[in-house]
Amino acid sequence: RLNAVRSVAEARQALVDVREQTDRELSELQARIAERIANAERDDVRAYSAAVSAGWTAEELRKIGFSEPDKKARTRRRATRKPANRPVSEAATEPAQETSSQG
């Protein structure tokens, strides 16, 4: 009887080990796939941008079957400056006043 339980314990541990290993392998594979897709998308955006820089318009490219890339090159947006109309001390006490008037 003891050997039977030992066999079950070993089989269960082997199952856990295989699951952990395959989870790691799956994560690594998904990361490699995501990287390949990102590289291809980046190349697509570059090629499209090069066509536009060469004088093609987005409409012309669309007419011949090349719509804008799904993943356009990301541009950094300028952060909007918050107006400093009121003093910091007023701004710090304002949320406390709002919550006390609500409750």
pLDDT tens track for 29-59: 999 999 999 999 999 999 999 999 999 999 9
Rounded CA separation 41/24 (Å): 26
Amino acid code (one letter) for 29? L
Domain boundaries of the chain, sorted by first residue: 1-77
Report residue 9 as tokens. Answer: 């314990």
Do 51 and 61 form a contact (C-beta atoms < 8 A)? yes
The model's pTM:
0.57
Rounded CA separation 28/46 (Å): 27
Residue 71's pLDDT band, with cuts at 50, 70 and 90, is: confident
